[in-house]
Amino acid sequence: MRILIAQSGGPTPVVNASLVGAIKRARELGHEILGGIYGIEGILEDKIIPLTQSDVELEKISHTPGAFLGSCRYVLPEPGDEEYDVLFDIFKSRKIKAFLYIGGNDSMDSVAKICSEAERRHFPISVIGIPKTIDNDLVESDHCPGFASAARFLNIVASEFVVDSISYSKPSISVIETMGRDTGWLAASLKLSERLVRGLKVLIYLPEEPTSDEEILYDVQRLKDGPLLVSVSEGVMDKEGNYLKSAPVLDSFGHPKLGGVGEHVASLLKKVKKVKFVNPGFTQRAASHAVSSVDFQEAQMVASVAVDVVNEGKSGFFVGINREKMNYHSSAKLVPIDKVANKVRKVPKKLLENDMNGFMEYLEPLVGQMPEFIIR
């Protein structure tokens, strides 16, 4: 069987681990596997290459950041559009019998549309979605490959940043902005920094919990005398449902372009105390040096299982992650793609209660052993 695999959306520290996991499993089962360059956008231009790398090369690729095959942010039209004539002609001419798409929310929308069109055309192809997003916002999965490594990196960076910022006789408040348009999983993960830096307090602001400049100032005033980190998700909103900060332009998916909320909060807090601000930006999705071992293994697992699924002739599924709570263990689970596409998993309120103890129980097994710092 000839399998086509591609990557889409923003890369993660382990997205290439998934790619390699699929390649290795396909070879074990005797299948030929091809790579789509620049996601579905490149596939529509017939940019497809054989994946014949050696085991040594694959090992290096699995630890390389960025999308090895290249990525895209491309919105497929609704099923029935003439663009699918191009896509399915390529599937037919290339003798593609299975298509695996590694991606996040918008990529799962593409998987659902291709599945629907294949069914409409009675075209024999298996289509499977493989999760990937540092935002951790895909439904039907306990967590998503990429999130744990990004959270691990952010906590290390934030903790080191805090320790550095309080080295002077006039200590400052530390402010960090994280990715997360619709959800605050990454911003919330920085609560873990309280366990990395003794005496540190962390304030969290998420899209799930609207706030205001006045509330932020009030919260900071109460904690300004000790070491303090303010973690702000890029998608934080006010009580009216407006972003605290966004550019007056839209991206290719029609989303407002975000960025700047961290600087906004940092400027606001200068009324209280000296402030130091950091925005890790794209580094949080490319930090291969801080990859979580659990994240790496699970990224390979979901992709390997995806190959097993198409080997069985199944189609229209998403490969999620199940968590066994006792002595952390995970396994893959199959979910119909229609239950995943165009849905967003918010941070549950129960994980944010009781000083976020539930969130820490959720997060700590994923990120692995972390450094701990002592400040005077």
For residue 332, what are the β-bridge partners? 321
For tokens 């890790």, what's the residue?
Answer: 280
Task: Give the residue numbers annotated as catalytic, written as ranges.
Answer: 135
For residue 202, what are the β-bridge partners? 229
The SS3 of residue 291 is coil
In the DSSP assignment, the letter for residue 339 is G
Please say whether the beta carbons of 336 and 127 come within 8 A.
no
Beta-carbon contacts of 344 under 8 Å, excluding residues fewer than 6 positions away, are: 105, 137, 139, 182, 183
| Residue 230 token pair | 């303010």
If you count them, how many residues does the chain have?
376
The SS3 of residue 225 is coil
The SS3 of residue 238 is coil
Give the gyration radius of the chain's Cα atoms. Answer: 22
> For residues 21 and 301, what is the distance between their CA atoms, to the nearest angstrom?
7
3-state helix, strand and coil shares in percent for the chain, rounded to the nearest 5: 40, 20, 40
For residue 205, what are the β-bridge partners? 232
For 39-56, letters b (16+ CB in 10 Å) and e give bbbbbbeebbeebeeeee
